[in-house]
């Protein structure tokens, strides 16, 4: 199901002691080849963590042999010492796997502004690489252990996989429960494939896939400093994939992971899909959907099972999208509550007791559409994030 679903990959997840809970907190995924093709996208937050700064340089030649990920600390705003920690972590992985440190991506997640313990990281790298060398590191269990090691406030590991009739596979793992907002990538995601594709092809497919999946998950409007989505290609299937077919498959795996992230968002009691149709452009549809997704008034109303469609229109009106403000239709969970900017069916007919909520906004301005995924705003979300560092 996970990063080991595709052939040519080994993984391990171990407890390095970075988390006080004693749970797994460090993972290594190794590309066993024969290819070492790769692509990655990162947060567009200008305030980037040290692992992102490192990995942006690593990916420039499209060659990645391994990726090391830790939870228990973001290694962001930790100065030159923090960057050196990133560098030495990559070197430790490289030494153990007999590869170049310049071919090792590094990812971290956790609290900003706290130094990571380099000694613990190195112990974790030793244990993880030992497990890869001596254990059943290409098994489903190994993939699950890696997925568990990158969790922070997640309540469960996120994994997905797809096998093409042509004989190649895409597998992936993700972490994320808070700070779910777009910026080319969201959260930490590692995707593997054994299809024969070069780095340029992987990059093209990845950018398409993230644009319509992770980039449209906007749980709380907060963009992380550490967001990374990496795609590694081993070519171990020896099957050259059709790029269009591969892109569709990759997009499906990314959508699966994005929906799992949405369903595990911090404190959420409703999963909300905001579908915007008949927009003048796709960008307009995204802009409108995102404005509604980021409306705390709307999200609080959904938490209270209140189908307050006026808050939907108020959010739409803050955008620069093309539409007639008095020609918009809104339906919530199948009930047409607003037509042409006027009340339609009574809002009391809307049932918001199920977890799934669907909001349909028709702009009547064109033929483009987009869907944004978000969650409601709950007491639990506020509590979890007010106590995150305590």
Burial class (CB in 10 A: 0-12, 13-18, 19+), 346: exposed
Rg (CA), the chain: 22
Residue 118: inside a domain? yes
Burial class (CB in 10 A: 0-12, 13-18, 19+), 354: exposed
Residue 350: inside a domain? yes
Q: Token digits for 268? A: 């959420």
Q: Are 117 and 161 members of one domain?
A: yes
How far apart CA 386 and CA 390 sit, in angstroms, is 8
The stretch 150-156 carries a mean pLDDT of 87
Higher pLDDT, 225 or 183: 225
Contact 138, 9 (CB under 8 A): yes
CATH number at residue 349: 3.10.20.340
Answer whether residue 173 shows pLDDT above 70.
Answer: yes
Q: Are 291 and 312 members of one domain?
A: yes
pLDDT of residue 186: 52
Residue 247: inside a domain? yes
287 is catalytic: no
Measured over the CA atoms of residue 137, residue 140, residue 142 and residue 143, the dihedral's sign is positive
Q: Are 83 and 144 members of one domain?
A: yes
E strand or H helix at 148, and its extent?
helix 140-149
Q: Are 349 and 294 members of one domain?
A: yes
Answer whether residue 183 shows pLDDT above 60.
Answer: no
Answer whether residue 185 shows pLDDT above 50.
Answer: no
Give the bridge partners for 135, in sequence order.
Answer: none
The stretch 4-8 carries a mean pLDDT of 97
Answer whether residue 378 shows pLDDT above 90.
Answer: no
Phi, psi (deg, nearest 5) at residue 51: -60, -35
* Average pLDDT in the chain: 93
Residue 322: inside a domain? yes
Task: Tell which of 230, 246, 263 closes a domain.
Answer: 263
Q: Are 144 and 275 members of one domain?
A: no
Query: With bands split at pLDDT 50, 70 and 90, how would you rate the model's confidence at 390?
Result: very low
Answer whether residue 278 shows pLDDT above 60.
Answer: yes
Residue 378: inside a domain? yes
pLDDT of residue 385: 63
Phi, psi (deg, nearest 5) at residue 253: -65, -45
Contact 24, 148 (CB under 8 A): yes
Answer whether residue 365 shows pLDDT above 90.
Answer: yes
Q: Are 183 and 213 members of one domain?
A: yes
Residue 179: inside a domain? yes
Q: Are 73 and 18 members of one domain?
A: yes
Answer whether residue 3 shows pLDDT above 60.
Answer: yes
Residue from 186, 210, 225, 287 carrying the catalytic annotation = 186
Task: Tell which of 216, 239, 263 closes a domain.
Answer: 263
DSSP 101: G
Q: Are 303 and 237 members of one domain?
A: no
Contact 110, 74 (CB under 8 A): yes
pLDDT of residue 389: 53
Query: With bands split at pLDDT 50, 70 and 90, how would you rate the model's confidence at 267?
Result: confident
Q: Are 111 and 232 members of one domain?
A: yes
Task: Tell which of 263, 285, 303 closes a domain.
Answer: 263
Cα of first residue to Cα of last residue in the chain, in angstroms, is 34
Query: With bands split at pLDDT 50, 70 and 90, how would you rate the model's confidence at 154?
Result: confident
pLDDT of residue 129: 97
pLDDT of residue 228: 93
Query: With bands split at pLDDT 50, 70 and 90, how would you rate the model's confidence at 387?
Result: low
How far apart CA 224 and CA 189 sit, in angstroms, is 13
Q: Are 282 and 220 members of one domain?
A: no
Higher pLDDT, 390 or 115: 115
Answer whether residue 178 shows pLDDT above 90.
Answer: no
Q: Are 344 and 253 members of one domain?
A: no
Number of compact structural domains in the chain: 2
Query: With bands split at pLDDT 50, 70 and 90, how would you rate the model's confidence at 386?
Result: low
Determine what percent of the chain is predicted with pLDDT higher than 70: 94
E strand or H helix at 315, and its extent?
helix 309-316
CATH number at residue 111: 3.60.70.12
Q: Are 226 and 287 members of one domain?
A: no
Residue 2: inside a domain? no
209-239: buried (b, 16+ CB within 10 Å) or exposed (e) per residue?
A: bbbbbbbbbbbbbebbbbbbbbbbbbbbbee
Determine what percent of the chain is predicted with pLDDT higher than 90: 82
Expressed as residue numbers, the domain containing 155 is 9-263
The stretch 292-299 carries a mean pLDDT of 93
User: Among 222-231, 279-288, 333-342, which is the least confidently predicted range?
Assistant: 222-231
Residue 136: inside a domain? yes
Answer whether residue 176 shows pLDDT above 60.
Answer: yes
Q: What is the pLDDT of residues 315-349, one digit of tens each?
A: 999 999 999 999 999 999 999 999 999 999 999 99
Contact 103, 50 (CB under 8 A): no
Strand order from edge to edge, sheet including 188-193: 37-42, 228-233, 188-193, 169-175, 158-163
Q: What is the pLDDT of residues 83-133, one digit of tens each?
A: 999 999 999 999 999 999 999 999 999 889 999 999 999 999 999 999 999
């Amino acid at each position: 199901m996970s990063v080991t679903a595709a052939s040519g990959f080994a993984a391990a997840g171990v407890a390095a002691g970075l988390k006080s809970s004693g749970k797994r907190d460090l993972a290594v995924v190794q590309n066993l080849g024969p290819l070492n093709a790769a692509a990655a996208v990162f947060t567009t937050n200008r305030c980037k963590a040290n692992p992102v700064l490192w990995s942006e340089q690593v990916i420039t030649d499209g060659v990645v042999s391994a990726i090391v990920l830790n939870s228990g600390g973001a290694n962001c705003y930790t100065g030159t010492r923090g960057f050196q920690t990133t560098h030495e972590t990559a070197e430790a992985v490289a030494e153990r796997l007999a590869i170049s440190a310049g071919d090792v991506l590094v990812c971290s997640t956790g609290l900003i502004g706290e130094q990571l313990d380099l000694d613990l990281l190195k112990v974790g790298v030793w244990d993880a690489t030992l497990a890869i060398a001596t254990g059943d590191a290409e098994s489903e269990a190994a993939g699950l252990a890696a997925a568990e090691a990158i969790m922070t406030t997640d309540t469960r590991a996120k994994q997905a996989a797809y096998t093409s009739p042509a004989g190649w596979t895409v597998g992936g793992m993700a972490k994320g429960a808070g700070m779910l907002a777009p910026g080319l990538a969201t959260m930490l995601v590692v995707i593997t494939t054994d299809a024969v594709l070069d780095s340029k092809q992987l990059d093209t497919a990845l950018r398409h896939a993230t644009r319509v999946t992770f980039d449209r998950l906007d749980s709380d409007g907060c963009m992380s400093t550490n967001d990374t989505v990496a795609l590694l290609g081993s070519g171990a299937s020896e099957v050259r994939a059709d790029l269009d077919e591969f892109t569709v498959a990759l997009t499906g795996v990314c959508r699966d992971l994005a929906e799992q992230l949405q369903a595990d968002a911090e404190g959420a009691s409703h999963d909300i899909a905001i579908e915007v149709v008949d927009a003048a452009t796709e960008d307009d549809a995204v802009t409108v959907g995102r404005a509604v997704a980021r409306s705390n008034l709307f999200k609080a109303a959904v938490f209270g099972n209140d189908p307050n469609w006026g808050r939907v229109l108020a959010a739409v009106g803050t955008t620069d999208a093309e539409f007639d403000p008095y020609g918009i239709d809104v339906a919530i969970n199948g009930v047409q509550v607003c037509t042409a900017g006027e009340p339609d069916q009574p809002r009391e007919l809307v049932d918001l007791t199920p977890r799934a909520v669907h909001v349909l906004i028709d702009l009547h301005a064109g033929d483009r559409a987009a869907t944004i995924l978000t969650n409601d705003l709950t007491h639990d979300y506020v509590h979890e994030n007010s106590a995150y560092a305590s």
